[in-house]
Amino acid sequence: MVDLIYVPNIIENNGKTFRENNLEKKHSFDIGESVRFTEGKYFSDNYCQSDSVNIQKAVSEGFLIVSSLDRDCDGTHLYTLTLEPVTDLKDGEDLYTYLCRKFNPHYTQNEESFIEASNYASSLIISGISENSIEKFK
């Protein structure tokens, strides 16, 4: 029989789990900060292949904005990047809904423009980006 080890629960030298140590660390980038992808395989394989012309342009020009500080299941830092600044996010509003509202100020999920607005929002969001894949844009 093979024992499985769940990586986030591995105890490290300091007596804390991998997850606990990651959760204590601060993100390297702040919301609103301009970043770009670092050159390399991750950059070219994932986002230059994107169907979104907006994302292709932003990736090639190197201008993206940190819009959300996220973490994965083991507490590793992740980021959500957008192509435009998030300036007036309402309490409890997620980034996707915010971008739909920016596209159409009268946006509701029940109106006909939902598909158009959601396509627009999807074309501006890049989620799950690891810290070592981006750098500060100068």
Query: Could you tell me the two tokens for 135?
Result: 């750098």
pLDDT at residue 14 above 90? yes
Strands 77-82 and 125-130: antiparallel
**pLDDT (tens digit, 9 = 90+) per residue, 95-124?**
777 777 776 666 566 556 666 666 666 667
pLDDT of residue 26: 95
Report whether 22 contacts 119 (CB < 8 A): no
In this prediction, residue 17 carries a pLDDT of 93
